[in-house]
Structure 1
């Protein structure tokens, strides 16, 4: 089950969650920037992020947890979950204060699915980057500012995204772009 699967170091995961009810997680550009700052603070130290997409009411991450076992005095799942808890709680507190709201901003649990299959990994990469197109926010994937898609187009520009792992599946940047423009069947990609 994707919601109860324990995190383990050195594995790749698709991690995602939604806003509680019909709430929005991101209302304006500053919200996206603040969330990304929190992501850098809490998640980058424990994971290599391959892809992300922030949508108004949900987000997706594709990442591999680093090998941090030697530094842990506690269960690795609890430690990794604590970092996500810090990220989501810190963001929600600031968001609630800014918009004078109370209560839970996110669903009660962080959805997650371990990625054990290369074919699934590539389709998931496409799915995450195309989320704004699939949800009708933009017609062209280049027009969405809140994903890692554009980070891959200019590999010479420094990025916190770990791009080497995913670029091994594409011979050129044009191959990467064409793949993202193509229609991919998400036949075994289960997103709840």
Structure 2
């Protein structure tokens, strides 16, 4: 069961949300690009992003919130949630305007799961990057262009992702690829 525990500074979270109803949140290529642009604008100032995957009706992001100077610890959840709310609202407003629709685009609550250990962290990275394969959109992980996986395969190419943090767990890029192509049990993720 996904908890709705408070966001905390310097903590890692698997964050995800689903479209409200049976619509799509990404209808065309420009939607994916705009979503990432808004992610950069609202979330990069407060978090290091480790991985993401955008699918037509939902998204996943793995991140670590930064320690933000000047914010009272008692208000940390509210402060971090405000940025996340602004991010999703900015995307939804632009989406609604573009497609002449009204109402909520995302489900009410942003689902989140705090990552407590290295083993869990690596399984979440695997899960996020393999999501397009698991949902039948592609046969091979590297075929989906709306995830952070291919960014990891091109370490010389500049990225806003914090790849270094994740790659410290792998001896080489080949070990990283082999891990992503291995079978990993997701039962414990409890993503309901």
**The TM-score by the shorter chain falls in which range?**
over 0.9
> What stretches of structure 1 move > 4 A for 4+ residues in a row?
none
CA RMSD of aligned residues (A): 1.1
TM-score, normalising length: structure 1: 0.97
Instruction: Work out the CA distance in 1 between the residues paired with 2:4 and 2:181.
Output: 33
Q: Which residue of 2 aligns with 1:34?
A: 34
Q: What is the SS of the residue equivalent to 1:38?
A: helix
Is 1:149–2:149 an aligned residue pair? yes
Query: What are the ranges of 5 or more consecutive residues in structure 2 without an aligned counterpart?
Result: none
Q: Which residue of 2 aligns with 1:71?
A: 70
Q: Judge which range, 1-10 or 130-139, deviates more.
A: 1-10
Alpha-carbon deviation of 1:175?
0.7
Instruction: Work out the CA distance in 2 between the residues paired with 1:97 and 1:159.
Output: 30
Instruction: Work out the CA distance in 1 between the residues paired with 2:182 and 2:98.
Output: 40
Does the 8 A contact of 1:3 with 1:109 survive in 2? Answer: no
State how 1:109-148 maps to structure 2 within 5 Å.
Answer: 109-148=109-148
Q: What is the SS of the residue equivalent to 2:106?
A: coil
Q: Which residue of 2 aligns with 1:92?
A: 92
Instruction: Work out the CA distance in 2 between the residues paired with 1:84 and 1:10.
Output: 16
TM-score, normalising length: structure 2: 0.97
Report the number of matched residues: 191
Alpha-carbon deviation of 1:4?
2.0
